[in-house]
Structure 1
């Protein structure tokens, strides 16, 4: 399906701040996508990732909204940490519904934007959302971060020939490395206090729509999320409507091939159910 679309600058209110965005309009679209921004980024995304994926989706007949949080990019207000961007997402959902009152909405987010979406799922506006697409969700905590380093970083170092060359030639401080591993083990065994991760779990557990997970194989953030699901009893019970890992991909899916895979997987997930 190839449809013509129009990219229109838009603005809408979040509290007293005016948020700026781009609406990729498709006439008679039955499904819309709101792209939520993560990290210190704007609606363009790293290496224009958000722009390119939005254009791919609109060519397939989906309307897409990209927007800047308060204090980011062209939007007014004070910059917010991702735990406090639920109001921004809510404002975007409200605006989108005024433009397409009969269109279903999917929320799409990378890294801490995926985390913010999970927190948003606890709000009353969740009834407007029929899909969420989460890429490399951010769940960084001392224990899960340490476990990810132990399982992936240190294990890969042991299989790296350069590690052994440094060890044999005396260029590697083995005592410092051993101390680092011991510290990571201690952190991995720590009990976690309540955090935003608990809020994410609560949102995902009560969400009745379709949830989709896209992970990058070569990304510690994604690996930390996998560690959480493997080792936390409550997260173990959480299931997603679809899950995929993109081989070789880094955190922001930097290559054209990886971005194309993300775009295709996003579209397939949203229209398949």
Structure 2
């Protein structure tokens, strides 16, 4: 059964949804970017329903200033109070829960890595953690390098270039970005997130979409930290096979 809830956070009111189930381990889903709790194409809502059907209760919520929740949206770097309020509410609303696994994609994964332990989360599943400081509209440099390497090996890419089907202006901008970007740039956010993930030790599982630009940028700075890879270029694991692979990873974590 799914039910809506409201709970306080630093003087504002957050809105969430609980999918009830009987297990004593629960899943807390944190939304990435400025997405509402339903997720891209309702992906998180469907994941919650599937996980509850497997026997585990699930809480999703909108952080301050997003979706149905009140307050100012200050971004993932300032979502610590929201996360702590959601954890406390989960335990109060589902008193049988004695262990919480947090799941987030993109900057929600970074929120969990940085603040999850202090919020009272026992284990985290971090999909495509956000470690990018750039504020332009281009992919991260690591993803540009990977894409160009792929194109240089591709006959079809050369044919598309000759037919004028590749945006040369964007290509030139990408090459310019590579020329001014070191292979491993000084990146305070990446340093913080990587250190935080390492501190979780065996209580963190990183899940990467193999062809996703955010995941490629993470791998570029992760320095050998272990990760599970799902063979897709969909950042939100939108395809049916992606969804099933992600669900299996989440269920495995909940059953440990």
Please say whether Structure 1 and Structure 2 have the same fold, judged by a TM-score greater than 0.5. yes
- Residues 101-120 of structure 1 mapped to structure 2, 5 A cutoff: 101=95, 102-120=97-115
Q: When the two structures are superposed, what TM-score results if normalisation uses the length of structure 1?
A: 0.82
Match of 2:194 in 1: 201
- Residues 176-187 of structure 1 mapped to structure 2, 5 A cutoff: 177=171, 180-181=174-175, 183-187=177-181
Match of 1:129 in 2: 121
Structure 1 residue 171: Cα displacement: 7.9
Deviating runs (4+, > 6 A) in structure 1? 169-176
Change in CA separation of 1:166 and 1:258 when aligned onto 2, cut-off 3 Å: closer
How far apart, CA to CA, are the structure 2 residues paired with 1:173 and 1:26? 50
- Residues 208-223 of structure 1 mapped to structure 2, 5 A cutoff: 210-223=203-216
Equivalent residues, number: 251
Residue 15 in structure 1 maps to residue 10 in structure 2: yes
Query: Are the equivalent residues in 2 in contact too, given 1:119–1:203 (CA < 8 A)?
Result: yes
Which residue of 114, 130, 137 corresponds with 1:138?
A: 130
Change in CA separation of 1:155 and 1:10 when aligned onto 2, cut-off 3 Å: same
Structure 1 residue 172: Cα displacement: 7.2
Bigger Cα Rg = 1
Structure 1 residue 69: Cα displacement: 0.8
- Residues 230-249 of structure 1 mapped to structure 2, 5 A cutoff: 230=223, 236=224, 238-239=225-226, 243-249=227-233
Which residue of 227, 230, 241 corresponds with 1:257?
A: 241
How far apart, CA to CA, are the structure 2 residues paired with 1:249 and 1:168? 25
How far apart, CA to CA, are the structure 2 residues paired with 1:20 and 1:10? 6
Change in CA separation of 1:163 and 1:10 when aligned onto 2, cut-off 3 Å: same
Q: Which stretches in structure 2 are left out of the alignment for 5+ residues?
A: none
Change in CA separation of 1:163 and 1:53 when aligned onto 2, cut-off 3 Å: same
Q: When the two structures are superposed, what TM-score results if normalisation uses the length of structure 2?
A: 0.87
Q: Which stretches in structure 1 are left out of the alignment for 5+ residues?
A: 1-5, 231-235
1:227-269 superposed Cα distances (whole Å, 9 cap, x missing partner): 1124xxxxx4x44xxx321113411111122112111111012
Change in CA separation of 1:149 and 1:9 when aligned onto 2, cut-off 3 Å: same
